Amino acid sequence: MDHLMNTYRRLPITFERGEGVWLWDTDGNKYLDALAGIAVTVLGHTNPVVTTAIQQQATKLLHTSNLYQIKNQMTLGDTLCRLTGLDQVFFCNSGAEAVEAALKLTRLYGHKKGIEFPQVVVMQNSFHGRTLATIAAGGNKKVQAGFEPLFPGFIRSPFNDIPALENIAENNNMIAAVLLEPVQGESGIQVPDEDYLTQVRALCDKNGWLMVLDEVQSGMGRTGTLFAYQAKNILPDILTVAKGLANGVPIGACLAKENVGALFQPGNHGSTFGGNPLACAAALATLKEMETLKLWENAKEQGNNLLKGLKEKLKGNPNVVAIRGKGLMIGIELDRACRDILNLGLAKRLLFSVTNETVIRLLPPLIINSEQVQMIIDILPEIIKEWHKSQQQ
Ligand SMILES: *Cc1c(COP(=O)(O)O)cnc(C)c1O
C-alpha cells in the first residue's frame, strides 16, 4: 500500500475468489456482493462463459493494435449496433474515455454546424469520469477542486428540469449537445420523471442538438432494459457504455448514429488498447450470456422486489430520508454522512457502497435470485439499525 497513490479510502479487506454473487476474503469469509465492483460484474464473478472466452482468446492472441483489422472488434461492433439501434462504435478502455470520445464528436458536430465555440449542456450532480474534460462535465465541485482551470465549453442545467433546458435553448445558440445520465448514479441514484428522456429528445430534435446519453452505469441491463433509453421510444445520437460491458475486463465504447460517427476520420481519435482481441472476446461472451438469459428482465423483477422489500422494512426509520431506484440500481439516502456504515456491512458480510456522502448504493449482479434479494432485505435494515446506535454513542 505504501507505494500506491492515495486515491481511494480502501476498506481493510482483500478478496481472493468469487463465484456468482459471492466473494471470499483472504481469511475465507464469504460475502454477498451487492455492489458488483461498481456495476461491473453484471453476470456475477467468474461466469464460466466469459472465463472460457478469455481463456480461449488468450491462447490465440491478446493484442495487435488498431493498425490492423480486428475480427472480434468488428463482431462486437455489429452486436452492439444490433442491440442499441445505433450505427457506429469507437472502442476504448473505460467509461471516462467513452465520454471523451463523445465530447470530441460534439465538438466536430458543432464546428460543422458553424458554431465557433460549441457548448455542451451538462447536468447538476452528474458524473462522467475523472479525466480533465469529464470532471468539468460532471457536476461535483469536490471532484473538480484543485484541478482548475477546468476544461471549457459546458453549460450546467438542473437534472430532470425541462423548463431549464428550454430556457437555455432560447438564450444560447452555441449549443451542440446535451450530455446526461438516464439515471444519475454517483450522485445517489436520481431517477428522473417518466417522460423526461422523451422530452429531452424532443428538445434536442427541435434545436438541432445531439442527445448524448452516458449509460456507463445504467446500461448493460441494470435498469430493466439493456439500456435505460430502450424503456422509452427514443434513440440517442451518442451513447457511452463501459462498466458492465465485459464483466470485469476493461473496455469502453462510444456509439453513435451514422451521421455523427462519420465525423471521425483517420487521425481524429484513437486508442492503442481500444477494442483489443481479448477485451472484445470478453464483451462478446458477456453480451451473449446476457441475451441468452435475458438478464435485464431479472434485473427488473429482482430490482422491484428489492426496492419494495427495503421500503417495507425501512418504513418509519428515522434515519432514512428516501429510497430510490430503477431495476438493480438502488439508493437509500440517510440523514447524514454514513461512510462508517461500510464497516458494519463488512461485519455482516454484505458488500455495498456509500456514494455522495449520505447514500447507500446497491448495484448487485443481474443474476441475483429471490433468496439472495431476501438476504439483502433482511440484513441491510439490521446494519442501518446498528449504525444508528453507533451514532448515538
Ligand atoms: C463510472 C462512470 C463513468 C466513468 O467510468 P470509468 O470507467 O471509471 O472511467 C462515467 N460515467 C458514468 C455515468 C459512470 O457511472
Domain harbouring 23, CATH code: 3.90.1150.10
> For residue 117, what are the contacts with CB-CB under 8 A and spacing of at least 6?
153, 174
Pairing of strands 15-19, 22-25: antiparallel
In this predicted structure, the answer to whether residue 227 has a pLDDT above a threshold of 80 is: yes
pLDDT of residue 2: 87
Percent of the chain with pLDDT over 70: 99
Of 293, 314, 341, the position where a domain reaches its end is: 293
Percent of the chain with pLDDT over 90: 99
pLDDT of residue 206: 98
Indicate if 243 belongs to the active site: yes
Report the largest interatomic distance among the alpha carbons of the chain, rounded to a whole angstrom: 63
Question: Rounded to an integer, what distance in angstroms lies between the CA atom of residue 70 and that of residue 362?
Answer: 36
Picking from 340, 345, 333, the residue whose alpha carbon sits closest to that of residue 393 is 340
Mutate to test the pocket of ligand 1, among 41, 131, 179, 217 (most ligand atoms within 8 A of CB): 217
pLDDT of residue 352: 98
Give me the catalytic one of 154, 159, 214, 300: 214
34 and 160 inside one domain: no
CATH number reported for the structural domain that contains residue 96 in this entry = 3.40.640.10
In this predicted structure, the answer to whether residue 361 has a pLDDT above a threshold of 80 is: yes
pLDDT of residue 363: 98
Which residue do the cell numbers 490492423 mark? 68
pLDDT of residue 106: 98
Give me the catalytic one of 159, 243, 257, 264: 243
Give me the catalytic one of 91, 127, 154, 227: 127
127 and 170 inside one domain: yes
Domain presence at residue 1: no
pLDDT bracket for residue 392 (50, 70, 90):
confident
In this predicted structure, the answer to whether residue 65 has a pLDDT above a threshold of 90 is: yes
Domain presence at residue 229: yes
Strand, coil or helix: what is 65?
coil
φ/ψ of 11, rounded to 5, equals -75, 150
Question: Rounded to an integer, what distance in angstroms lies between the CA atom of residue 189 and that of residue 330?
Answer: 6
Ligand 1: residue whose CA is nearest its atom 11: 128
200 and 336 inside one domain: no
Cβ atoms within 10 Å of 239's Cβ, excluding its own: 27
Strand, coil or helix: what is 200?
helix
Indicate if 27 belongs to the active site: no
Residue range(s) defining the domain that contains residue 337: 15-47+295-391
Q: Looking at ligand 1, which atom is closest to the CA of residue 126?
A: 13
Question: Rounded to an integer, what distance in angstroms lies between the CA atom of residue 190 and that of residue 385?
Answer: 24
The predicted model scores a pTM of 0.98
What mean pLDDT, rounded, does the chain reach?
A: 97
pLDDT of residue 29: 98
Question: Rounded to an integer, what distance in angstroms lies between the CA atom of residue 42 and that of residue 290?
Answer: 9
The binding-site residues of ligand 1, defined as CB within 6 angstroms of any ligand atom, are: 94-96, 99, 127-129, 181, 185-186, 214, 216-217, 242-243
CB contact at 8 A, 365 and 41: yes
C-alpha 393 chain-centroid distance = 37
Domain count across the chain: 2
Which residue do the cell numbers 438476504 mark? 375
pLDDT bracket for residue 160 (50, 70, 90):
very high
pLDDT of residue 391: 87
Ligand 1: centre distance to CA 388 (Å): 31
39 and 105 inside one domain: no
pLDDT bracket for residue 317 (50, 70, 90):
very high
95 and 212 inside one domain: yes
130 and 163 inside one domain: yes
What is the gyration radius of the CA atoms in the chain, in angstroms?
Answer: 21
Domain presence at residue 368: yes
